Amino acid sequence: MIRHVVTWKLAATDVAERAEQAETMARGLRSLPASIPEIRNLEVGVNVLNPGSNFHLVLIADYEDEAALQRYQEHPEHQKVAAYIRTVVGDRSAVDFLV
């Protein structure tokens, strides 16, 4: 199994704007398991401590293998959510590892 971990730091400096964007991202990401069968498990967390230095959101998701992760990334529903994310994110990091 592949665990896919992505963190995002939002570009917005206004706290209210950033909170709204984080909620929109989280809602979009949490909707994906309903339409993408490759997702075995998916968790989304919004950071609650040290927002000035920490990343703002995290996605932790599991896939059967690398091919399943690739299908998820190419899925049209994921592409829609990712398109929004790209408009509000200032930085991103990702790690994929075997579990």
Give just the sign of the alpha carbon dihedral 74, 92, 22, 66.
positive
Model pLDDT, residue 3: 98
How far is 59 from 8, CA to CA, in rounded Å? 9
Q: How many structural domains comprise the chain?
A: 1
| CATH number for the domain harbouring residue 27 | 3.30.70.100
List, for residues 6-20, the tens digit of each pLDDT value: 999 999 999 999 999
Average pLDDT over residues 82-96: 98
- Quickly state the pLDDT bin for 1 (edges 50, 70, 90): very high
Q: How many CA atoms, within 13 angstroms, populate the side-chain half-sphere of residue 63?
A: 18
Average pLDDT over residues 17-46: 98
Q: Which domain holds residue 32?
A: 2-98
Q: Is the pLDDT of residue 29 over 90?
A: yes
DSSP state of 47: -
Q: Is the pLDDT of residue 52 over 90?
A: no
